[in-house]
Amino acid sequence: MASWIPTVAAVGMAIGPPLVYVDQAVSIVRKKDSTGFSRDVCAILLIANITRCFFWLGDHFELALLMQSILMIIAQLALLYICVRYRPRVSPENFGASSRPLSFWQWHTYAQYIEFLAGYILCSAILFLIFSRSELYVMILGFVALGLESTLPIPQLIR
């Protein structure tokens, strides 16, 4: 077998999934409207992939999958920015009518999303520093990351 095939496969594995969301981003920018796309998808993928990065620190899995998580975080941050920028004028958060506690993930500005993610990363880092020697904790991180990502279709189904 050619030695370049595993490298190409690893690159494809790393960049393939994040590229799926490029079409969605282009569509939103072209229409200048994010109606029909749930920002909750970004929340699920951001939290799951950030958690997966912490899992990698405790249990080194394939490097291509770590790169996939990092690229997915970048892609979702960009998509979230586009969704906030092109949010429909008539939306629950514009009227303060969110049914979620603290209007979770229905905030007005991109900075509010970044503040939440920074807090999540900080809390995750502190917990990892405290519990990283625990095999159970590391396994729980992997389970949480995988479990969160498995809920990905739910926001689009609800919409």
CB atoms within 10 A of CB 124: 17
Confirm whether pTM is higher than 0.85.
yes
Quick one: pLDDT at residue 155?
Answer: 78
State the average pLDDT over residues 25-41: 93
Is the CB of residue 57 less than 8 Å from the CB of residue 128?
Answer: yes
- Which residue has better confidence, 103 or 12? 12
Whether the pLDDT of residue 45 is over 60: the answer is yes
State the average pLDDT over residues 135-146: 97
- Which residue has better confidence, 67 or 94? 67
Whether the pLDDT of residue 95 is over 70: the answer is no
Long-range contacts of the stretch 139-147 (C-beta < 8 A, 24+): 139/59, 141/51, 141/52, 141/54, 141/55, 141/58, 142/52, 142/55, 142/59, 144/48, 144/51, 145/48, 145/49, 145/51, 145/52, 145/55, 146/48
